[in-house]
Amino acid sequence: MKKILPILLFILAYLLIQSLILLRVLNPYWQQIIQFAGLMAISALGLNLIYGYTGQFSLGHAAFYGIGAYTSALVTKSYPHGGLPVFIASLIAAVIVVAIVAFLIGMPILRLKSDYLGIATLGFGIIIKVLFDNADAVIPSLGGSRGMVGIPKYTNLTITFILFFIAIIVIRNFVYSSMGRACISVREDEIAAESIGINTTKYKTIGFVLGSVFAGVAGVLYAHLYTFLHPSNIDFLKSIDVLLIVVLGGLGSISGTIIAALGWTFLLEGLRVILPAEILDWRFVIYPLLLIMVMIMRPRGLWGGVEFNFLRPKEYGRPATDK
Amino acid sequence: MAVLLQINDLTKYFGGLSAVVGLTMDVDEGELTGLIGPNGAGKTTVFNLITGLYPIDGGDIKYGGRTIIGLKPYQIAQRGISRTFQNIRLFGNLTVLENVKIAYHMHVNYGLGSALVHNTKYQVQEKKLVQKAWELLTVFNLENRADEIAGNLPYGQQRKLEIVRALATEPKLLLLDEPAAGMNLQETEQLKQLIHFIRERFGLTIFLIEHQMRVVMTICERVTVMDFGKKIAEGAPCDIQNDVKVCEAYLGKK
């Protein structure tokens, strides 16, 4: 029962949104926001794996998001009437490209620690943005600084929900495995981790690559949701957005990341509805203020160290205790 | 008795400071060996060299007849050398049980695929792992603390847990870096019994650093004394106690 309930809830949420669309309660704009919230959650789950669980401070998350988006868009744009198979192929291509890039960039820079790693990943993010700014010189259809147009629209509610669900399961299963624990030990104390036979370099790389792949998948959804890509969509401020979500939700909490990602998206858009037009721009004052308050009152994030029950898999082998 | 760990002419400099100079000593299999010396004598440096934390500047360390120079710390741990740290290095934000579970890492061999889908292979191995971890905690009377955050344990139990974590890797050689540091008389007494117990139960070779004389003198079979990076004496505890050089190192010249 414990296993099925969350899946049922997930399907129920999906059906609810679908029926609201059918009943014309949710206009296309809000449908788009819902899907955007979902893809932000996927991306944030990835950064949580890198920063929250493995403890590697990365400011280059948007770069991987961008690489995923551009790679898949290039594939689907090249085969404009391919339908779903082409979209899936583009998703796989994006995952592979992101994984390779993350591996190659991770090898040299994951030796660095905390702030220094942050600066290095920031540099990487800027390089990638500049690369896409000028990409049209090599591949004209990438659009360069004029933006990439004509990407087919494949992302829909169903695809977003399925990928979101897979992302949650993957990260949950990974974290509660021997490999996930190895990543966590790297965060806790690298020297101690080595002393019990854990190859810290290997697990830093695994965490970094897997987390970056999540960003890539989110990028694929983004590209085929808005059908337009611009290098400004992947600059380092976008990395900061994801970082905010992860820290706000609580480092090392899957539940917190999901809630914060959904909350952050709906808060920004909700304020747009609630606030009168003349003070609309004040939402960028209101939400940082909320952030400051949360950080003062709950320094470990809203759900730091807390996890929903269904996101904790059964622990096998523990003897029954009589409490 | 066979020699398990062989240190030969080991040398390490930190800039102009010679931390360890030409240290030669053996640790026999099954023996309880102590390394003592005043503060700053280079004892912990020796441990850090054995476990591969620092590169060495000269000499050789052989473990089970093979050199371990140039290996990464995790590779040395995989060969069967486990250690504790002078300034406890637990995974402080994790529970007691999680600390021990992580230490079984090298004995788990399911791949990324199994980890992502939690298949039968995962379930079987995880089950075995938790059972073993639980058993080990029970042996050390820590099982009722299993779900407590390791960093919240009282000091003595943190030291104990660190030893438990080292044992979970199933080592052949256990290095204890000042296990009695910061302990009072009663705790030290318990620790001595614990070390005896570990040795009997797990059939381990133990090599420990200590500067509390009363610990070393009563439990170690052989003691090496260091001062300013050099070996100044070696032998049975009772002989060491009467050694002129050792008294000088600790108390100064007459």
- DSSP for chain B, written as a single string: --EEEEEEEEEEEETTEEEEEEEEEEEETT-EEEEE-STTSSHHHHHHHHTTSS--SEEEEEETTEE-TT--HHHHHHHTEEE--SS----TTSBHHHHHHHHTGGG----HHHHHHT-HHHHHHHHHHHHHHHHHHHHTT-GGGTTSBGGGS-HHHHHHHHHHHHHHT--SEEEEESTTTT--HHHHHHHHHHHHHHHHHH--EEEEEE--HHHHHHH-SEEEEEETTEEEEEE-HHHHHT-HHHHHHHH---
**Which tokens belong to A149?**
């147009």
* Structural contact between residues A149 and A228, judged by C-beta atoms closer than 8 angstroms: yes
β-bridge mates for residue B247, sequence order: none
Contacts of B169 in chain A (CB under 8 A): 196-197
Q: Does A142 reside within a domain?
A: yes
pTM above 0.90, yes or no: yes
A170, part of any domain = yes
The pLDDT tens digits of the residues spanning B9-53 come to 999 999 888 899 999 999 999 899 999 888 888 899 999 999 999
Least Cα distance to B95 among B41, B48, B34, B165 occurs for B165
Q: Do A194 and B72 touch (CB under 8 A)?
A: yes
pLDDT at A36: 95
Residue B17: partners with Cβ closer than 8 Å, 6 or more residues away: none
> In angstroms, what CA-CA distances link A202 with A103, A175, A183?
10, 15, 9
Q: In A, which residues are within 8 Å of B129 by CB distance? A: 178, 317
Determine how many CB atoms are found less than 10 A away from the CB of residue B254.
6
- Mean pLDDT score of chain B: 90
Question: Of B93, B102, B112, which is closest to A196 when you measure between CB atoms?
Answer: B102
Interface residues on B facing A, Cβ-Cβ cutoff 8 A: 51, 53, 72-74, 77-78, 82-83, 85, 89-94, 98, 101-106, 108, 110, 112, 114-118, 122-123, 125-131, 134, 165-166, 168-169
pLDDT attached to residue B254: 65
In a domain, A323, yes or no: no
DSSP conformational letter for A141: G
User: Cβ neighbours of residue A134 under 8 Å, at least 6 residues apart?
Assistant: A144, A145
Q: Residue A184 falls within a domain, yes or no?
A: yes
Best to test chain B binding among A195, A206, A311 (most B CBs inside 10 Å): A195
Type of residue numbered A314: K
Say yes or no: A321 contacts chain B, CB-CB below 8 A. Answer: no
| Number of separate domains in chain A | 1
Find the angle CA(B214)-CA(B219)-CA(B221) to the nearest 5 degrees. 120
The CATH number covering residue A214 comes to 1.10.3470
Is 90 exceeded by the pLDDT of residue B218?
A: no
Q: Give the pLDDT score at A3.
A: 67
Bridge partner residues of B67 (DSSP): B62
Retrieve residue B234's tokens: 């070696």
Angle, nearest 10°, between helix axes A254-274 and A28-47? 150
**Residue B1 pLDDT level (bands cut at 50, 70, 90):** low
Q: Give the whole-angstrom CA distance, residue B252 versus residue A74.
A: 78
Residue B227: half-sphere exposure toward Cβ, Cα within 13 Å: 12
Range of A55's domain?
34-311
Residue A190 lies in a domain: yes
CB B34 within 8 A of CB B224: yes
Residue at A16 is within a domain = no
* Half-sphere CA count of A284, side-chain side, radius 13 A: 2
Say if residue B178's pLDDT is above 50. Answer: yes
Residues of chain A with pLDDT under 70: 1-3, 320-323
DSSP string over A297-315: H-TT-TTTT---GGGS---
Residue A14, domain member (yes or no)? no
Question: B17-40: buried (b, 16+ CB within 10 Å) or exposed (e) per residue?
Answer: ebbbbebebbbbeebbbbbbbeee
Please list, in sequence order, all residues whose beta carbon lies within 8 angstroms of the beta carbon of residue B129, skipping any fewer than 6 positions away. A178, A317, B101, B104, B107, B108
Q: Is residue A103 part of a domain?
A: yes
Question: Amino acid identity, residue B108?
Answer: V
**Cα A202–Cα A204–Cα A210 angle in degrees, nearest 5:** 100
What is the rounded end-to-end Cα distance, in angstroms, of chain A?
22
Tokens in use for B227?
A: 């001062």
Within 8 A by CB and 6+ apart from A162, the residues are none
Show the CA angle centred on residue A80, arms to residues A78 and A81, nearest 5°. 140
